[in-house]
């Protein structure tokens, strides 16, 4: 059944997107294997955060360069993604250490009995790796949306300076911010709904809910993705504005 669904997806993507649709399908499976390999490295004892950052870089390269090619839009988007990922990693290391979200919660008691307690992994790093991996898809989408739109703005108005391009990028970002954050919310809402049902069934109080580890894990994932998208808007805007104006000056000097 999975192969049938994959075949239907491939046919539809080629029918709608042509060659780029086929590239997108290939990129999807490359990223799935990248994710699996990243998890394998973490399970083998490789530093979870380092392995995840490398995996995120590979995913970003595949999404940007395989599908859209190597150009000023994709290169600038990748630079902005790297900057936001590094910043978010530093922030999440600080927040994650203080929030104690690592490991299993009381709600996972039935699952814990099937696992060995001696897994030899730093669960704080694993918890942060999960947050970072969930972040990459959202910020890649936002980055390429900003850089592509700014490129079109510049192509139609080549006399705009860096400040004017940055303001245009921020205005574009305001338009996509609402839809992006709502997309993230509904992407995580499935798992969150079952969690809410659990809390209702066992009559959790409000204080018990907000102090539940499993709730904090889900909430931190949603908030971190939203913050990453918000940070990506000014970051991609300033990077692309600089790249376009610098490119213009270089061409004039040749």
Letter string b/e over residues 103-114, b meaning 16 or more CB atoms within 10 A of that residue's CB: eeeebeeeeeee
CA distance linking residue 97 with residue 100, whole number of Å:
6
> pTM here?
0.79
* Per-residue model confidence (pLDDT) at position 77: 94
* Per-residue model confidence (pLDDT) at position 98: 60
* Per-residue model confidence (pLDDT) at position 92: 79
**Structure tokens that stand for 3 in this block:** 């192969």
Q: Where are the domains of the chain?
A: 70-253
Contacts of 121 (CB under 8 A, 6+ apart): 42, 43, 45, 48
Nearest CA to 170 out of 81, 88, 80, 236 is that of 236
* Per-residue model confidence (pLDDT) at position 122: 64
205: left (phi over 0), alpha (psi -120 to 50) or beta: beta
SS3 for 136-177, per residue?
HHHHHHHHHHHHHHHHHHHHHCCCCCHHHHHHHHHHHHHHHH
Can you give the pLDDT of all 254 residues of the chain as single tens digits? Answer: 667 877 887 788 888 878 888 888 888 889 889 989 998 888 888 888 888 899 999 999 998 998 888 999 999 999 999 999 999 888 877 776 665 555 555 554 555 444 555 555 666 777 778 778 878 877 888 899 999 999 999 998 888 889 999 999 999 988 888 777 777 777 666 666 777 777 777 677 777 777 777 777 777 777 888 888 889 999 999 999 999 988 654 443 33
* Per-residue model confidence (pLDDT) at position 76: 95
CA 132 vs CA 32, 71, 118, 187, 240: distances in Å: 16, 26, 25, 15, 24
Contacts of 180 (CB under 8 A, 6+ apart): 138, 141, 142, 229
Contacts of 190 (CB under 8 A, 6+ apart): none
* Per-residue model confidence (pLDDT) at position 243: 92
Residue 58's CB is within 10 A of a number of other CB atoms, namely 18
* Per-residue model confidence (pLDDT) at position 232: 92
Residue 69's CB is within 10 A of a number of other CB atoms, namely 11
* Per-residue model confidence (pLDDT) at position 238: 95
* Per-residue model confidence (pLDDT) at position 250: 43
Is the distance from CB of 181 to CB of 232 less than 8 angstroms? Answer: no
* Per-residue model confidence (pLDDT) at position 4: 80
Residue 243's CB is within 10 A of a number of other CB atoms, namely 22
DSSP 100: T
Q: Residue for token digits 């949603």?
A: 222
């Amino acid at each position: 059944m999975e192969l049938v669904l994959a075949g239907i997806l491939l046919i539809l993507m080629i029918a709608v997107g042509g060659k780029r649709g086929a590239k997108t399908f290939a990129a999807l499976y490359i990223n799935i294997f990248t994710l699996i390999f990243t998890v394998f490295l973490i399970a083998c004892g490789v530093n979870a955060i380092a392995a995840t950052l490398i995996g995120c870089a590979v995913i970003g390269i595949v999404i940007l360069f395989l599908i859209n090619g190597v150009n000023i839009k994709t290169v600038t988007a990748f630079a902005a993604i790297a900057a936001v990922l590094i910043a978010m990693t530093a922030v999440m290391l600080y927040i994650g250490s203080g929030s104690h979200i690592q490991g299993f919660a009381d709600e996972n008691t039935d699952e814990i009995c099937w696992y060995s307690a001696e897994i030899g992994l730093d669960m704080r790093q694993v918890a942060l790796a999960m947050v970072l991996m969930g972040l990459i898809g959202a910020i890649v989408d936002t980055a390429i949306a900003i850089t592509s739109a700014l490129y079109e703005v510049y192509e139609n108005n080549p006399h705009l300076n860096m400040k004017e391009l940055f303001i245009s990028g921020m205005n574009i970002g305001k338009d996509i911010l609402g839809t992006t954050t709502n997309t993230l919310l509904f992407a995580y809402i499935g798992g969150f709904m079952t969690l809410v049902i659990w809390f209702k069934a066992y009559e959790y109080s409000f204080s018990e809910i907000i102090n539940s580890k499993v709730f904090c894990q889900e909430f931190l994932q949603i908030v971190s993705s939203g913050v990453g998208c918000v940070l990506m808007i000014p970051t991609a805007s300033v990077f692309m504005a600089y790249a376009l104006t610098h490119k213009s000056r270089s061409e004039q000097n040749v």
